[in-house]
Amino acid sequence: MKKISILMMALFLASCSNLSKNMTKNGQFLVRNGAYAEKVWNENLVFNRFSWYQEMSLQYDLMIAKMPANSAFNYWFSADELKDVQSCTDFRVILIYTLDSKKIAHSSFFEQAENANFQKIDIQTFKKQLIMHPDSSEQSLNLYQVYGLCKKTKDLKPIVVNFPSFQEVIVP
């Protein structure tokens, strides 16, 4: 009986120590429908979401959406932003959050995106539209930085994200 108690105690401690590990999760976030001036559309902007947790705390969050050339969400770009977007062979909108930039800095992600031939571009007008969308409040998007990623080459090289002490994540 004493051996079973010791075994149960060891299993309990092992399960508790598992909570202290770093982990990554992935999923999706949708921005449902949109509007701009007199235009209203029934289309979803689908973000693939990648999250890095230390214990139970979100350390870094990345949401990334491919923007097709015919997407109605293109109305959210200013004329200059749209010109930049249309010059890309592959364009994506990214939303990024960090709990502590001393632990995981945005610059670390952007260096890795550059390794996949993506360049960061500012999309402030798009960001303003996104932040005012009703779906943004449920995800607290006001805490996120919003940028565009532009690839001018036609390669299929994915973004490989590797943060210290976390599992590598491949963003297709």
Instruction: Report if residue 10 sits inside a domain.
Output: no
Instruction: Report if residue 86 sits inside a domain.
Output: yes
Domain span at residue 103 reads: 21-171
**Quick count: other Cβ atoms within 10 Å of Cβ 140?**
9
As given in the structure block, the two tokens for residue 13 are 């401690």
pLDDT greater at residue 139 or residue 54:
54
Cβ atoms of residues 125 and 93 within 8 Å: no
* pTM recorded for the entire structure: 0.84
Cβ atoms of residues 51 and 60 within 8 Å: yes
Instruction: Report if residue 109 sits inside a domain.
Output: yes
Q: How many domains does the chain have?
A: 1
pLDDT at 10 over 70: no
Instruction: Report if residue 59 sits inside a domain.
Output: yes
- What's residue 3's pLDDT? 55
Rounded Cα distance, 53 and 57, in Å? 5
Which of 114, 108, 113, 119 is closest to 85 using CA atoms? 119
Instruction: Report if residue 68 sits inside a domain.
Output: yes
110: left (phi over 0), alpha (psi -120 to 50) or beta: alpha
- What's residue 172's pLDDT? 87
Instruction: Report if residue 11 sits inside a domain.
Output: no
What is the average pLDDT across 80-88?
A: 96
Name the least confident of 16-25, 145-154, 158-167: 16-25
Provide, rounded to the nearest whole percent, the portion of the chain with pLDDT above 70. Answer: 88
Instruction: Report if residue 14 sits inside a domain.
Output: no
